[in-house]
Amino acid sequence: MRRQPTLWDVAFAVRGTILPRIALHLLLISIVTAGAVLASTEHPGIFARFSAVPFTLIGIALSVFMSFRNNACYSRWWEARHLWGDLVIACRSIARQTSLLDPNSRAQILRGLCGFSAGLYSRLRRADEAHAIAPWWDIGKASQGPNPTDAVLQGIGLKLAHLAHEGRIDSIQYSVMDKQLANLARIQGGCERILNTPIPFSYSLLLHRTAIVFCTTLPFALAGTLGWWTFLPVLIVAYTFFGLDALGRQLEEPFSSAPNALPIYSMQRTIETELMSTLALTAVDQESVQQPGREE
């Protein structure tokens, strides 16, 4: 997690901010502003009929419109964070619920969970799911199918059903763990819904076009009055509108690799680390049982 911004960060921070993505927009606005100021200097009164009042009204409307769109984008980002938080909780719960299984069966299930989380990460980043799953779980021909990540869940479910059939877990244990698998399937479905259902293109396009028109015409309303000081309010307004627009686009895609997207790789690695740590502790406990006379 990044710390709260200091005064130095506010003034000079660039990495991790939205500025690199809107630099060309700001450059364009600067060129337009310079042209407007030069024209008003060479021909005083040329923009006399331009009034700032309409821009005030349009700016308020644009701000409200942008806030609705960014709220929708943030809701997608926050729901995605909830889903990955539920994924971590579900994996921890299954790891705890398998503590009574024999070490080999428990290891298979926990490795399957690692494969599921790795496959889901790759699926959301549109990478090779089968390649990510392969070190953890053998899904066979399902690696060529449309949903290798779900195939891992099916494999874990079959393993649990086999254990229940052999009497190594009772019906209650099976029901509890199968409920957690259903929760994992719900999490995958929720992530896929966010991934495959973007905010309507025309909605974002309308906002982007309106922001460009507003910011490129604003200098002509201010140049005759403010002169070279026109740069200050125009660039502040442009930075705000273009920055919010670009930030909304990043939040709209919470599983991307953009600076403000979710750190799903870190969360996926957290799951792997914790489950592998659980397996290591299980191996140590098993060794202690086999060698009860060993001195610590």
- pLDDT tens digits for range 4-52: 666 666 555 666 678 888 899 999 999 999 999 999 888 887 776 777 7
Tell me what pLDDT residue 40 has.
87
CA-closest candidate to residue 120, choices 76, 69, 80: 80
pTM as predicted = 0.84
What does the DSSP assignment read for 187-246?
A: HHHHHHHHHH-PPPHHHHHHHHHHHHHHHHHHHHHHHHHHGGGGHHHHHHHHHHHHHHHH
The Cα 18–Cα 255 span in angstroms is 17
Instruction: Report CA dihedral (115, 119, 122, 126) to the nearest 10 degrees.
Output: 160
The Cα 294–Cα 296 span in angstroms is 6
Q: Which fold has domain 78-195+264-282?
A: de novo design (two linked rop proteins) (1.20.1440)
Work out the number of other CB atoms within 10 angstroms of the CB of residue 188: 21
Spell out, as residue ranges, where the chain has pLDDT lower than 50.
Answer: 284-296
Domain ranges of the chain: 78-195+264-282
Tell me what pLDDT residue 295 has.
36
Is the separation of the CB atoms in 76 and 194 below 8 Å? yes
The Cα 254–Cα 223 span in angstroms is 40
